[in-house]
């Protein structure tokens, strides 16, 4: 065996070891980065929120006219302008499940049981 092929073989072996060591560590680092970028999912609200199909909360919708009072941003690339413009939401009203009104139930055991 000539020394060149010996050195070449050693280099290939060494390279394989280095790659084998680097691979899992790189994957770990990528996973760690992914974990940092994705914020933990916030806890679901206790009561379902009445979000309209337009994406706005029920409180933005007028009680009488049902029109959505929220402002939406129209991106400039939609209108050809440089900056975004604000328009009133075109939603005609909230149609969805209305959560039960919160009510206060007086304490039955009024301390005199
Ligand atoms: Zn709406
Ligand atoms: Zn809306």
| Overall pTM surpassing 0.75 (yes/no) | no
pLDDT average, residue stretch 78-95 = 88
Residue pLDDT, tens place only, 33-72: 666 666 677 776 577 788 999 999 989 999 888 899 999 9
Q: Where are the domains of the chain?
A: 3-37, 48-95
Two tokens, residue 57: 């909360």
Residue 17 has, within 13 A of its CA and on its CB side, a CA count of: 5
Residues around the ion ligand 2 (C-beta < 5 A): 54, 56, 68, 70, 89, 91
Cα distances (angstroms) measured from residue 60 to each of 9, 42, 53, 88, 105: 72, 23, 12, 11, 28
Cα(61) to ligand 1 centroid in Å equals 6
- Rg of the chain over CA atoms, in angstroms? 31
Cβ(68)–Cβ(56) below 8 Å: yes
């Amino acid at each position: 065996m000539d020394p060149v092929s010996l050195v070449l073989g050693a280099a290939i072996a060494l390279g394989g070891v280095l790659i084998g060591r680097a691979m899992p560590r790189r994957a770990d680092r990528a996973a760690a980065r992914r974990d940092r970028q994705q914020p933990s999912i916030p806890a679901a609200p206790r009561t379902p929120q009445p979000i309209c199909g337009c994406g706005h909360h029920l409180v933005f919708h007028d009680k009488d006219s049902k029109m959505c009072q929220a402002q939406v941003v129209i991106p400039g690339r939609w209108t050809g302008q440089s900056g975004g413009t604000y328009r009133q939401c075109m939603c005609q009203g909230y149609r969805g499940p209305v959560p039960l009104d919160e009510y206060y139930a007086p304490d039955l055991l009024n301390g005199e049981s």
